[in-house]
């Protein structure tokens, strides 16, 4: 049990911030993060070490988030306030109409571009962590993120 307490203290922040990037609500993010750690504790023996522990925990948290959204009967939408922090796009944050446009572009991005962009920008995950989550290389994560940014810029034109 002390070992799991160590895991909790070392990985709580990254999981919480990742969930917060998905839902945009601190109270909900805290609740989902707690539930994700509870699920991880119950299933720690299934962790095979094929990825970093933080990546495994974020996957559990993501699944918990989507399950929670479905249970509440909510369609998952990304909050308008969560506009990409990329310098070229950042200028449009202050204009609500452009924020809506950016939101719509993000919402329509194909996978894996949308998820990679959100993981990197709002989940603040490293390219290595993103690559591990998808079972790909770090170069793949970088290229996918770069292409997602290009698609967003194209959509703004």
Residue 106 lies in a domain: yes
pLDDT tens-digit profile of 18-55? 888 888 788 888 999 999 988 888 887 787 777 777 88
Total domains, the chain? 2
Whole-number Å distance between alpha carbons of 27 and 44? 25
- For the cut 60, the answer to whether the pLDDT of residue 61 exceeds it is yes
Helices 96-108 and 113-121 pack at an angle, to 10 degrees, of 130
pLDDT of amino acid 31: 92
Q: Identify whether residues 103 and 134 lie together within a single domain.
A: yes
pLDDT of amino acid 74: 61
Q: 3-class SS at 35?
A: helix
Q: Identify whether residues 144 and 109 lie together within a single domain.
A: yes
Is residue 76 very low, low, confident or very high in pLDDT (cuts 50, 70, 90)? low
Residue 9 lies in a domain: yes
Q: Identify whether residues 116 and 152 lie together within a single domain.
A: yes
Looking at residue 103, which CATH number applies to its domain? 1.10.10.10
- Which one is predicted more confidently, 122 or 80? 122
pLDDT tens-digit profile of 93-151? 344 556 667 777 877 888 888 888 878 876 777 888 888 888 899 999 999 998 988 88
pLDDT of amino acid 95: 47
Residue 76 lies in a domain: no
Q: Identify whether residues 108 and 63 lie together within a single domain.
A: no
Q: 3-class SS at 19?
A: helix
**Cβ–Cβ < 8 Å for 98, 52:** no
pLDDT of amino acid 86: 42
Domain containing residue 117: 87-156
pLDDT of amino acid 73: 72
Rg (CA), the chain: 16
């Amino acid at each position: 049990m002390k070992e799991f307490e160590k895991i909790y203290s070392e990985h709580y922040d990254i999981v919480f911030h990742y969930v917060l990037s998905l839902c945009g609500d601190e109270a909900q993010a805290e609740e989902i993060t707690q539930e994700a750690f509870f699920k991880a504790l119950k299933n720690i023996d299934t962790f095979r070490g094929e990825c970093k522990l933080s990546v495994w925990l974020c996957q559990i948290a993501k699944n918990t988030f989507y399950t929670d959204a479905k249970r509440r009967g909510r369609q998952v939408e990304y909050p308008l306030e969560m506009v990409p922090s990329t310098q070229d796009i950042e200028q449009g944050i202050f204009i609500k109409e452009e924020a809506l446009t950016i939101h719509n572009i993000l919402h329509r991005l194909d996978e894996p571009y949308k998820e990679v962009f959100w993981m990197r920008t709002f989940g603040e995950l490293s390219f290595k962590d993103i690559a591990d989550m998808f079972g790909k290389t770090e170069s793949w994560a970088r290229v996918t993120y770069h292409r997602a940014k290009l698609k967003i810029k194209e959509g703004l034109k």
